[in-house]
A and B are shown apart, each in its own frame.
Chain A
């Protein structure tokens, strides 16, 4: 492995910007985020990037490295071809604030639309449910909100349906609530009307980029689609609703 890396980093904002080359010394085990920190420390102290834990736990340092959505703190430099430049860009689906930092505030607005947990009254101060029941929900609760799934989802990336669509991150969140063994809230109407679950056509791009390995499409989105279909499109239920609605 050569002892120098060449980085091409996006510098600019949403209006204008350019790819700027930096050369930095490489150390064993280095990740892309280390390389960016080296650039900051030695060449461009005003280079903007978000990060926190540097161990894949907080989901702050999302970006696109050689065109692929990545958590930069878990992306080893030695996996890229020796001597070839590595390009680093901010996530494409969100407005760029500066350099590698995007405005992800839309995600926080979507989250507010989701009705909170409502636990069944069991009368027991220690609610009981099994580890197997917990497992199903815990998969969804592993989400670190890196928003890489939102970044690659074509409904957001290509079609920019931010008004009518929630995105995979929030389908995962709803799945975690809907499948909670003690929750009794119904979020199917919200899923259908406010989060636009129907826009998803199951291309699984989200699942592929999830750094936590959550089976977003298979375990969250498809079961939710089935529930929405049962609730709103089941012909028997529909007839029932027509006959008995006030």
Chain B
């Protein structure tokens, strides 16, 4: 089709965060002609906001650590709903991927003997997170970006992909527009890797940026791919709550990893009363024991005490905070207190948590070296995503791959902190490798259906002359409110069904959205187009959440409080059919006996 700018590649990677960059580097290294397409400028993707660290059982700080322990922690954190093979590959390959980053120029914080330092984090048995203060994501993305510059890939910045193009069952490329010019663009490709991140912009209180509009989830679903585990959305326990301008902005779990404690309005450390049965006996029972642990960690010694309950998994901590606030024991602005000032010296805080110090000082007028922070849950991450083959990251559509947050299955019902950055590296690399191999084994590019492209282009331009008067921002705000109120941390069947009704109404409004101005760098138009992704994926999350009538990990049903063993044997699958979004159940793959034993063992 001559009408639109057209490029031809072996592999097109959509998204230039950690997963996309790593995939593109690998595909390119394998000899595939590779394009990296991203919505922002290179180096600005969401990975840059990751703070705490990248989890890998390097065993630099505690020699007892090993991939087996990392695997077990990950499975336990996910309440055993993880695809076991992904969790195994992840735990085994993460150390290699981190060392490779160091070879490419990353400069992690050091141990006393000069190796990569590792810090404690929620759900990890041993100090496991390689980090750079509280800006690990920046280090990672810059390292990959600079590696990529010399790798010979093409980078298409500020280009939004709207859909996957297919020839019959197989991928033929993708279609989108240049944000700057507004012009449509076609990428023909033998393989496409989704690395588009998450869906957090569907919620009102979120740590996610404008980019997280569920693009990859939606495009994969529209292209016929299965989504898995969509009911599991992670609310990070510690987002900022005040002032309104920064509500939802992330506060790294590293604050608690460095000894920070959670307090309610009565100055009580409420996490001691919130240790779930599954973790009984693994956490400090008293403040004294927990202080001994912190002191040992600060001194660089192996602690003889158990870790503080503030380092429980994110799902547990987020629910506990919500409970305190609901019981009237919250902070003045509806959160709880996170105190590091009384635990660490001002100098240590500024050294290990510099951007937290800066962020609170500049944006909230709080000096975290002297005063506690006010914190509350914020929508942070989706465990659900494109269902992929554990080894190759290929989706159920031939030639379509997914890695990073948009990929599903690795984290089960709840992700451990630090397992995202490692996930990006491990599965980004694999997606790059296997997409390149797929391209090599594919003789020719698939044909592009010109009529289909024309139809999509016309549809994309419709908001400029729609008959309605809806404002895209207003529709988006309403969507975020619906999801926050009805599909949040704690859910009921009644709320979820009410949400479905409201989503239907919002769909009608979205069809009447009208935008002004022209097609050049027009954020109102861009948002108008993103509404469809967000509505469809919000519906997917809601339907999956209705289906799972139990509570597990990040999915809490007030009307179905406990976990149900039968539900522990199945994943919920979402797919689009001719009649709409359909939900089914799929048995978990059989886990080998030796790994089953590993999960049960204590060390």
Instruction: Name A residues whose Cβ lies closer than 8 Å to a Cβ of B.
Output: 27-31, 34, 40-42, 45-60, 74, 76, 97-99, 101, 104-105, 108, 111-112, 116-117, 119, 125-131, 133-134, 137-138, 141-145, 176-177, 180, 183
Contacts and interface: CB of A to CB of B under 8 A. Distances in A.
Contact of A129 (B58, B110, B155, B362): B110
B107 A141 contact: yes
Contacts of A138: 107, 132-133
B102 A127 contact: yes
B529 to A, nearest CB: 13
A128 B102 CA distance: 11
Interface of B: 40-46, 48-49, 58, 60, 99, 102-105, 107-110, 113-117, 132-133, 135, 137-139, 142, 146-147, 149-150, 155, 157, 180, 209-211, 242-246, 249-250, 355, 358-359, 362-364, 471-474, 477, 515-518, 520-525, 527
A134 B107 contact: yes
Contacts of A56: 355, 358-359, 362
Nearest to B141: A58
B385 to A, nearest CB: 21
Contacts, number: 174
18 contacts: A29-B246, A29-B364, A46-B515, A49-B523, A52-B44, A54-B249, A58-B48, A58-B209, A74-B363, A104-B41, A108-B157, A111-B146, A126-B116, A134-B108, A138-B132, A141-B132, A144-B138, A180-B105
A52 B146 contact: no
Given A27-B245, A126-B99, A127-B102, 4 more contacts: A52-B40, A57-B48, A129-B110, A130-B110
Contacts of B517: 45-46
A141 B131 CA distance: 13
Main secondary structure of the interface of A (DSSP, over half): loop
A47 B523 contact: yes
A24 to B, nearest CB: 13
Contacts of B139: 141
A236 to B, nearest CB: 33
Contact of A52 (B46, B109, B472): B46
Contact of A46 (B133, B180, B524): B524
A53 B48 contact: yes
A124 to B, nearest CB: 9
Contact of B105 (A45, A117, A134): A117
B523 A48 contact: yes
B116 A57 contact: no
A142 to B, nearest CB: 7
Contacts of B364: 29
B114 A97 contact: no
A57 B109 contact: no
- Greatest chain A CB density within 10 A among B43, B147, B211 is at B43
Contacts of A126: 58, 60, 99, 115-116
A203 B423 CA distance: 44
A34 B110 CA distance: 38
A42 B355 CA distance: 32
B110 A46 contact: no
Given A29-B364, A46-B517, A60-B44, A52 B113 contact: no
Nearest to A127: B102
Contacts of A128: 113-115
B362 to A, nearest CB: 5
B99 A125 contact: yes
B245 A98 contact: no
A141 B142 contact: yes
Nearest to B181: A97
Given A57-B49, A60-B40, A97 B521 contact: yes
Contacts of A117: 104-105, 146
A130 B355 CA distance: 22
A153 to B, nearest CB: 19
A193 B522 CA distance: 40
Nearest to B180: A97
B132 A41 contact: no
Contacts of B46: 52-53
A29 B133 CA distance: 26
A49 B116 CA distance: 38
Which 7 interchain pairs have the tightest Cβ spacing? Answer: A29-B243, A45-B524, A46-B517, A128-B114, A117-B105, A41-B473, A48-B521
